[in-house]
Amino acid sequence: MANTPSAEAKTGWALVSAPAVYVLLMLAAPLLLVFGLSFAGLEDGSKVSLPLADGQVEQLGFTLSNYGKLFCWSVSESCSSTDVRMAQATANAMGRALMVAGFVTLTTVLLAYPVAYYVSFHVQPSKKALWLFLITIPFWTSYVIRVALWRTILGYDGAVDAALSGLGIIDGQLNVLQYGTLSIIITLSHAYAPFAVLPIFVALEKVDRSLLEAGQDLGESRWTTFLRVTLPLTMSGVVAAVLIVFIPTVGDYVTPELIGSGKVPMIANFIETQMWKLRNQAMGSTLAVSSMLIVAIIATLFVLANRRYLGARK
Amino acid sequence: MKTKGLGLRTYTIIYLIVLYAPIIILPLFAFNDATTVAFPLSGFTTKWFAEMMGDVNLRKALVNSLIVSLSTAVIATALGILAARSAVRYSWPGKGIVMGSIMVPLVLPEMIVAMSLLVLLLAMGVKLSLFTIILGHVLICMPFAVAILSSAFQSLDKSLEEAALDLGETGWSTFRLIVLPLVMPGILSSFLITFTISIDEFIIANFLGGGEPVLSVFVFTAFRFPSTVPPVLALGTMLVAFSILLLTIAEYFRRRGVAKAGGKDTGGFL
């Protein structure tokens, strides 16, 4: 058994070696390969389609032209009219993905905060686990089924239309589904709701309850206590919730396919088209790397903007 | 205090109802006697279930899914035990970065994980099959296994192990006789959760499967064609019921594990 630090380190490393090697081979290596491929091109200008044919390996070289294609705003020597259309469509898909993810994040976090607050502050400690279990169950059931069901809820004669016309609020059909982007936002907000509740709940649980009493003893109202004590103390949870919802929703593929019927593609659908349908893995990698870079920049800026709340915990 | 929470309580209950809305609507249409999925409901039928049971492709997909999910659950939980035990019990340099990397798939969009794996497999000339789906599923399931198992190992009292060692047990027999039984609920809960994630997962299954049908891909394809929607709703009803059953069992084991180790229940899987 490990007694000295170095023996302990050895045992620890021996144990973790298998999962560590797995992650190295199945995650680090593929991501590095994608990064490398995003700069790859063939001398004859044909697309990089894996596995490479005989003789193509020698032709493989470093190029920035994949990234250049993303900036083809007008037809020129290096940009054909197809390239220009492609660049515009890609920019649109990225813009749409960011906008959708932004709205989804805002909606889920705003709607989730009161729920997390209720469970943390008003539910008996012995019942908290049960409430969290109830909130998380839908998240564990098939994502594809949940997303697809929103078609039946939002679509023609769906649950929303049936309820609204039943109540006499609308006369005909609302058919929200025809507004592709809106129905994607609704569906994703629903799918990612539990993701927002959990981190906020964890942050609320850490709030020292005596601080709130102190605030109220000193003459603050409940609302100002919340704004000046509880909310700043739980901003770390809000930031975590924002990131945990925003990042996967930017890269969502299933919802635009099923809800938007592929008519309002987001960036993940474009990555899939290049990588899978067109077998152009270099361009697909370029899209993957650029979108990850954009998301990483936005996430970093967001964290920096909130750093005073995050630092307060130390 | 009671009256103040009332508004919040009402809000939370409405929130939960909306959260469950699709799952509640699902069986309504699965038993509805109409080929189009729309209100008003027309009558009760079990024919969609019968049609679903008779589908040969579905049976093949079911068998494939079981192979993938069982393998994934076993491998991810085994790797999770190693990683969680190592991180909780021992201190070693580089722990932060190694454990952090294991958790990365949790925050990466699945499309990125799937496509980067696809590129590697294509470059290496590996034929896509159920096996390659398992490779991807183990990767995305491992973070969940590690999270569940870490909390199981954390609630373990170190002095129990030390006592066993003092009484002459070897390192391995201590692990087998003392540690393993105490973390068994955590292991079962990790197994069930990773199984559930794997059987529901679509993107990796679709792109790394090389055309082998699995349940999630079957469901996705069926939803795109109106005529196949009602039987797939029947299938969905059974899948959702099955998932909820597995999760309830997993939650039961997790709680028992917490109680067994004498810990305080902080709630939730994550």
Reduce the secondary structure of A129-191 to three states and give it as a string. Answer: HHHHHHHHHHHHCCHHHHHHHHHHHHCCCCHHHHHHHHCCCCCCCCCHHHCHHHHHHHHHHHH
Contacts of B203 (CB under 8 A, 6+ apart): A253, A254, B110, B111, B114
- Phi, psi angle pair for B225, to nearest 5°: -120, 120
Q: Which fold has domain A90-311?
A: MetI-like fold (1.10.3720)
pLDDT on residue B4: 61
Q: Does A103 touch chain B (CB under 8 A)?
A: no
pLDDT on residue B3: 53
pLDDT on residue A2: 46
Domain count for chain B: 1
* Of the candidate ranges A92-101, B30-39, B222-231, the one whose mean pLDDT is the lowest: B30-39
**Overall pTM surpassing 0.80 (yes/no):** yes
pLDDT on residue B268: 47
Cα A253 to Cα A222: distance, rounded to the nearest angstrom: 43
| Averaged pLDDT for residues A40-53 | 83
Which of A18, A205, A284 comes nearest B115 by C-beta?
A284
| Averaged pLDDT for residues B132-142 | 97
Is A17 within 8 Å of B98 (Cβ atoms)? no
ipTM of the complex: 0.86
pLDDT on residue A152: 77
Model pLDDT for residues A268-303, shown as the tens digit of each residue: 999 999 999 999 999 999 999 999 999 999 999 999
**Residue B199 domain-assigned (yes or no):** yes
What ranges make up the beta strands (E) of A22-155?
Answer: 40-42, 60-62
Q: Which residue has the higher pLDDT, B99 or A47?
A: B99
**Considering only CB atoms, which chain B residues are within 8 Å of A143?**
200-202
Q: Does A168 touch chain B (CB under 8 A)?
A: no
Cα B68 to Cα B199: distance, rounded to the nearest angstrom: 8
Q: Which residue has the higher pLDDT, A117 or B267?
A: A117
Contacts of B189 (CB under 8 A, 6+ apart): B148, B152, B250, B251, B253, B254, B257, B269
- Widest Cα–Cα separation across chain A: 79
| Averaged pLDDT for residues A137-149 | 85
- Give counts: helices (H), strands (E), chain A: 18, 2
- Give counts: helices (H), strands (E), chain B: 12, 0
pLDDT on residue B97: 93
pLDDT at A250 over 50: yes
Q: Does A218 touch chain B (CB under 8 A)?
A: no
Numbered ranges of CATH 1.10.3720.10 in chain A: 90-311
pLDDT at A314 over 90: no
pLDDT band at B269 (very low <50, low <70, confident <90, very high): very low
- Of the candidates B103, B249, B259, which has an alpha carbon nearest to the alpha carbon of residue B189? B249
Cα-based distances in Å from A121 to A16, A35, A114, A294, B3: 39, 46, 10, 37, 13
pLDDT on residue A3: 56
Q: Can you give the residue range of the structural domain that contains B131?
A: 47-260
pLDDT band at A91 (very low <50, low <70, confident <90, very high): very high
Q: Do B19 and A244 count as a contact with CB atoms less than 8 A apart?
A: no
Restricting to B residues 236-255, those with a Cβ less than 8 Å away from any Cβ of A are 236, 239-240, 243-244, 247, 251, 255
Model pLDDT for residues A195-245, shown as the tens digit of each residue: 899 999 999 998 888 888 887 888 888 888 888 888 988 999 999 999 999
CB contacts < 8 A (A, B) = 266
In angstroms, the separation between the Cα of residue B198 and the nearest Cα of chain A is 10
Q: Do A12 and B95 count as a contact with CB atoms less than 8 A apart?
A: yes
Restricting to B residues 178-197, those with a Cβ less than 8 Å away from any Cβ of A are 193, 196-197
In angstroms, the separation between the Cα of residue B188 and the nearest Cα of chain A is 16
| Averaged pLDDT for residues A106-129 | 92
Cα B95 to Cα A235: distance, rounded to the nearest angstrom: 27
pLDDT on residue B182: 87
Is B8 within 8 Å of B204 (Cβ atoms)? no
Model pLDDT for residues B8-36, shown as the tens digit of each residue: 899 999 999 989 988 888 888 888 877 77
pLDDT at B142 over 80: yes
Q: Do A281 and B8 count as a contact with CB atoms less than 8 A apart?
A: no
Q: Does A246 touch chain B (CB under 8 A)?
A: no
**CATH code of residue B67:** 1.10.3720.10
Q: Do A288 and B115 count as a contact with CB atoms less than 8 A apart?
A: yes
Share of chain B above pLDDT 70, in %: 93
**Considering only CB atoms, which chain A residues are within 8 Å of B85?**
15
Cα A152 to Cα A165: distance, rounded to the nearest angstrom: 16
Report which residue type is found at B246: L
Torsion angle of C-alpha atoms B79, B81, B82, B86, degrees rounded to 10 = 140
pLDDT on residue B261: 61
- Of the candidates B200, B267, B112, which has an alpha carbon nearest to the alpha carbon of residue A191? B200
- Phi, psi angle pair for A60, to nearest 5°: -70, 130
Contacts 24+ apart (CB under 8 A), A162-166: A162/B38, A162/B39, A162/B40
Q: Do B119 and A275 count as a contact with CB atoms less than 8 A apart?
A: yes
* DSSP 3-state of B211: coil
In angstroms, the separation between the Cα of residue A16 and the nearest Cα of chain B is 5
**Residue B145 domain-assigned (yes or no):** yes
pLDDT band at B174 (very low <50, low <70, confident <90, very high): confident
Is B85 within 8 Å of B153 (Cβ atoms)? yes
